[in-house]
Copies of this chain bind each other. A is one copy, B any other.
Amino acid sequence: MLSIGTLAKRTGTKVQTIRYYEQIGLMPEPGRTTGGQRRYGTVELDRLAFIRHSRELGFSLEAIRELLDLSDSPERSCAQVDAVAQKQLHEVEARIARLETLRVELQRMINECNADRVADCRILEVLRDHEECLSDHIRPGG
C-alpha cells in the first residue's frame, strides 16, 4: 500500500495534483487508514501513470477520461480510441502550423530592426499595424 506522497514520487506527480484528479473524478476514491490518510494499490498506480503519460502527450483531461472509459471495454472495437488520438494529432498539427507562422513573423520583425532608437524600432512598427505583416496570423474568433 502506497501513501499519496509515494505515489506522487513514483509517477512524477504533485500530491495536490493527485487529490485534484480525485476531486474531478479522474482518479477513484482510494482506501484510507484509520487516521484518514489515503492508501493506494497497483491499480491506482497504473491508472495515474496512464493519466500522466497521456498528459505528457498533450491529451486533455476530458480526452483521457474517455480513453480510460474505453479501455474498460477490452472486447469493443478500438475505433473510438483511434479517433481520440487522431483528433489530438490534428490539434497538435494545427498548433504547430500556427506557431510556425508566428515564428516566421517574429523572425522577420527582429531581422528588420536596425534602429537604435525606440522611435524607429521596426518591431514596434509591426506590432502597431498588422498591414506590415506578410502572413495572416489572425485566429478566427480571437
Residues of chain A touching chain B, judged by Cβ–Cβ distance below 8 Å, are 12, 14, 46, 49-50, 53-54, 56-58, 67, 70-71, 73-79, 81-82, 85-86, 88-89, 92-93, 95-96, 99-100, 102-103, 105-107, 109-110, 113, 115-121, 123-124, 127-130, 137-139, 142
* Bound form: Cα–Cα A28–B35 in Å: 54
* Bound form: Cα–Cα A103–B82 in Å: 15
Are B89 and A121 in contact, CB atoms less than 8 angstroms apart?
no
Number of copies: 2
A and B contact pairs by CB, cutoff 8 A, 17 listed = A50-B128, A71-B118, A73-B118, A75-B118, A78-B121, A78-B123, A78-B124, A81-B118, A82-B110, A85-B109, A85-B110, A85-B123, A89-B107, A92-B106, A93-B103, A95-B95, A96-B103
Chain B residues near A96: list those with CB within 8 A. Answer: 96, 99-100, 103
Chain B residues near A123: list those with CB within 8 A. Answer: 78, 81-82, 85
> Which chain B residue lies CB-closest to A93?
B103
* Bound form: Cα–Cα A99–B103 in Å: 14
> Which chain B residue lies CB-closest to A79?
B116
